[in-house]
């Protein structure tokens, strides 16, 4: 019984020590740097991340006024999502990661988080960027496949942008490839 009582304290300690959180007032941007739960939170030299969703600063998102780079968007802006549906941006966050994936989809280069979710064509099943291979097809807004011709894991620090819209799916790049929402980080006191 004593072990059960200690479990909540241990979980709180792991959660508390696993995040370095910074907040800024511009665009309500939040940076989170989670440490892998399998490494000791006391070892500062170990920098493993387990949540690496997001996109490079120049990824194009369809808006009412055409395509805009994700870095130019703000909370409250309207983007065009699946089936032409307008969706309000609920949150934009950014974070530093130590690895990301370079995809070339129908001759368009996409820099994306290692754990970012896409949808495979024709199955509509979710797949993370790390599991996409050259020759795979990704689902787009007109329910067609976009061919992935190149995939590269890049082990270098970079800044990725999360985008959270009113529901879970929005489109990126000129071919409107479906991607899954990032969940916003909510801080409460």
Supply the pTM of this predicted model: 0.70
Please name the residues in contact with 183: beta carbons below 8 A apart, sequence gap of 6 or more: 164
Which helix (H) or strand (E) segment is 11 a member of? helix 2-17
For 71-74, the CB contacts below 8 A with 24+ separation are: 71/161, 73/163, 74/27
Q: What is the pLDDT of residue 184?
A: 55
Q: What is the pLDDT of residue 25?
A: 30
Q: What is the pLDDT of residue 6?
A: 46
Q: 159, 54 in Cβ contact below 8 A?
A: no
* Closest alpha carbon to 138 in 166, 180, 168, 100: 180
Query: What averages of pLDDT result for each successive group of 10 residues across the chain (189 residues)?
Result: 44 38 36 37 39 90 90 93 88 92 94 94 93 95 93 96 86 87 57
Q: In what order do the strands lie in the sheet with 137-139?
A: 108-113, 100-105, 145-154, 137-139
Kindly tell me the burial class for residue 66, based on how many C-beta atoms sit within 10 Å of its own C-beta (0-12, 13-18, 19 or more): exposed
What value, to the nearest 5°, has the Cα angle with vertex 121 and ends 86 and 110?
65
Query: How many Å is the Cα radius of gyration of the chain?
Result: 18
Q: What is the pLDDT of residue 82?
A: 80
* Closest alpha carbon to 182 in 168, 171, 173: 168
* Closest alpha carbon to 98 in 21, 22, 30, 155: 155
Q: What is the pLDDT of residue 174?
A: 80
Q: What is the pLDDT of residue 68?
A: 94
Q: What is the pLDDT of residue 11?
A: 40
């Amino acid at each position: 019984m004593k072990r059960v009582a200690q479990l909540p304290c241990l979980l709180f300690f792991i959660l508390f020590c696993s995040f370095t959180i910074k907040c800024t007032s511009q665009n309500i941007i939040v940076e989170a740097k989670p440490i892998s739960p399998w490494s000791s939170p006391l070892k500062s030299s170990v920098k493993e991340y387990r949540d690496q969703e997001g996109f490079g600063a120049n990824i194009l998102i369809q808006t009412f006024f055409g395509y805009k780079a994700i870095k130019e968007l703000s909370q409250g802006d309207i983007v065009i999502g699946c089936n032409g549906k307008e969706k309000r941006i609920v949150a934009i966050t950014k974070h530093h990661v130590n690895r990301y994936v370079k995809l070339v989809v129908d001759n368009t280069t996409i820099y994306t988080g290692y754990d970012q979710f896409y949808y495979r064509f024709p199955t509509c099943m979710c797949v993370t960027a790390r599991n996409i291979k050259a020759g795979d097809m990704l689902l787009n807004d007109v329910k067609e496949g976009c061919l992935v011709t190149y995939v590269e894991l890049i082990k270098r620090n970079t800044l990725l942008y999360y985008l959270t819209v009113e529901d879970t799916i929005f489109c990126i790049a000129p071919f409107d490839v479906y991607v899954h929402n990032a969940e916003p980080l909510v801080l409460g006191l």
